[in-house]
Amino acid sequence: MTPSPILESHRSFNFSSGPAVLPVEVLEQVRNELLDYRGTGMSVMEMSHRCKAFDEILEQALAGIREALSIPNDYEILFLQGGASFQFSMVPLNLALPQQPVDVIHTGNWTKMAIEEMKRLTVAHVVSHSTESTNFATLPDLTHYHPAANTSYVHLCSNNTIEGTQFKTFPKTGAIPLVCDMSSDIFSRPLDVSQFGLIFAGAQKNIGPAGVTLVVIRKDLAERAAKNLPTLMQYRSQIVAGSRYNTPPTFGIYICGLVMNWLKAKGGVTAIEKANAEKAALIYDVLDHSAGFYDSPVPQSVRSPMNLVWRIAPGASNQEALEAAFVKEAASQGLHELKGHRSVGGLRASLYNAQPRAGVEALASFMREFARKNG
């Protein structure tokens, strides 16, 4: 096998589920501006979060996000901290109404974490449409789903990073807000934001570096919260302060803005959706034509183009040895982070927006050769 072209440029192919690969053009720009941001004589890291240069950085990042997803004006965009996991507390503390349960569509590890946090906070909730009996390899059909009238809100995870499933459409929940954890597929496809009450996402998959949490919230929902919540946990106060109640993660926000510029130059979410589908097809095609050597547990209709999971030779006595060999040999070829999540085992490749097609082609080629040698 010939060495991958990226090894020559000292860049690996990185299939990490997050923090994950960023566009090399963005990293180059960050490098070029690192000691002197556009003639200011400072790094963005060194700037006051209230100076004019950072005002512009923040405004541009917000404008880029609003444009990328055509976010309506009655929605606010917030840059928060704490990751998506912190939203598992913040959303119910702000949006759950007394004696009105949250309806959690339970499809994997991340909804499990959301449920556990609601239990801890004693927030009333119901767990519905669970696909746990399939080890979360499938997704429920929500075509005819209507939440009960007294539901505070519906909680959904659009893309299950660990289990490799993705909702292709979203339920229409009417007057009941739909809250969506989109950490691992936001900005990967067009979206009708008006279907949602609140969307949240950790930045470190499709937006920027870890340490920034994106929240898109329909403004009226922020008024549900009790005023004695900690200030920084109220969407209300974060909206009033424009994400600057205190010092935000300035450098991360700057990079999110650069990623939005990159996405726009690539043709936006419509073009990236097509590119993502093509990249994913390269790998799913190998899985489906490996004569059983590789096995995807996920039905075709709900397969994620972001996180692809598979096993080698299911049932074979040397399955785990083969999977370990796969990870090791791939790394020696410059193909990194292909081990599945520790909770499910197996293998996983994350093919976010910034994953270069060349990396996916190199992986497909490696997979075919590995099957030929070991099948």
- Sheet order of strands, 294-295 included: 294-295, 307-312, 347-350
CB closer to its own copies out of 171 and 209: 209
Which runs of E-coded beta strand occur in 234-304?
294-295
To the nearest 10°, report the CA torsion of 80, 86, 89, 93. Answer: -10
**130: nearest Cα among 99, 150, 103, 102:** 103
Phi, psi of 139 (to 5 degrees): -125, 150
d(CA 165, CA 296): 11
> Known catalytic residue: 205?
yes
How large is the C-alpha radius of gyration of the chain? 21
d(CA 208, CA 179): 22
Tokens of 286: 């190998």
d(CA 363, CA 275): 16
List Cα–Cα distances, 15 to 130, 164, 331, 349, in angstroms. Answer: 28, 14, 11, 5
Single out the catalytic residue among 103, 110, 185, 339. Answer: 110
Single out the catalytic residue among 103, 112, 185, 205. Answer: 205
Burial of 207 (0-12, 13-18, 19+ CB in 10 A): buried
CB closer to its own copies out of 129 and 341: 341
CB closer to its own copies out of 191 and 207: 207
CB closer to its own copies out of 25 and 361: 25
CB closer to its own copies out of 43 and 60: 43
CB within 8 Å of 249: residues ≥ 6 apart = 79, 81, 211, 212
CB closer to its own copies out of 120 and 219: 120
> Known catalytic residue: 181?
yes
For residue 333, the minimal CB distance to its own copies (Å) is: 12
Single out the catalytic residue among 103, 181, 279, 310. Answer: 181
- List active site positions: 110, 181, 205
